[in-house]
Structure 1
Amino acid sequence: MRKVRDLNWFKNEMAPNLKEYELVYNFFKKGDFGSLNQVEFNSKKIGGNIDFWRLGWLGIFVWNYETEEEVLNILLEPHQEAEKEKAFDKLKELL
């Protein structure tokens, strides 16, 4: 069975493991690909955001504050489920 990667999934599966991060949840009624639920995450070392669009698009951006470098910047289409899984695996490694 395929896991749906959405805001509820994030809150249940990932957020509990991000205790050293400040999490900010935003909602935008008119995003590029429909309404958008966004999670901003920040620590002293790593920050970024995850964009969950209603139409199934997913964006992940991660910035390393120490090296001042972008370490992940992904935009995936609704049908790219395997890539979404890999993107979240990469994100978990970085966090």
Structure 2
Amino acid sequence: MVINKKSDWFKENIMSYLSEFEVIEKKFSEGDFGDLEQIEFNSEKISGNIDFWSLGWVGVFVWDNICESEMLNILSEPQEEERIVESFNKLKEIIINN
């Protein structure tokens, strides 16, 4: 799955679960793993971001604003397709349950 396909897959399969969140899309060039497409989401209970790097790395981070603690923090290498999908599924589960 190339970077555009990963972010497109995310938008098609996960983004609808973020309808109750403030969502901010950002783009940065020349970061640690190439160019970065970031989707930040915020609510009263949880906040986080999904990072799609042009070199194929994908990061998923979720913060519990109530408990002030990390709920999920996964950085996947480009070849870890299964882990990337698992991290999206964990994110979806957290969003649904919060």
Q: TM-score when scaled to structure 2? A: 0.88
CA contact 2:41–2:47 (8 Å) conserved in 1 = yes
> % of aligned pairs identical?
49
How far is 1:17 from its partner?
Answer: 2.3
Give CA-to-partner distance per residue, 1:12-70, whole Å, 9 cap, x none.
22212211011000000111111010000011101010000011100111000011100
Is the counterpart of residue 23 in structure 1 residue 23 in structure 2? Answer: yes
* 1:88 paired residue number: 88
Aligned to 1:78, the other structure's residue is in SS state coil
Structure 1 pair 32/3, CA: closer, same or farther in 2 (3 Å)? closer
| Contact 2:57/2:76, CA 8 A, preserved across alignment | yes
Q: Name the residue aligned to 2:57.
A: 57
Tell me: CA distance 1:77–1:3, structure 2 relative to 1, closer, same or farther (3 Å).
closer
Change over 3 Å in CA distance of 1:94–1:3 after alignment to 2: farther
Structure with more relative contact order (C-alpha pairs < 8 Å, separation 6 or more): 2
Provide the rounded CA distance (Å) in 2 between the counterparts of 1:57 and 1:3.
10
Instruction: Name the counterpart of 1:67.
Output: 67
4+ runs deviating over 3 angstroms:
2-5
Unaligned runs of 5+ in 2: none
Which amino acid is the alignment partner of residue 58 of structure 2?
Answer: L
Query: What's the CA shift for 1:7?
Result: 2.1
Find the aligned partners of 1:86 and 1:41 in 2 and give their Cα distance. 19
Q: Distance in 2 between matches of 1:48 and 1:20?
A: 14
Aligned residues: 94
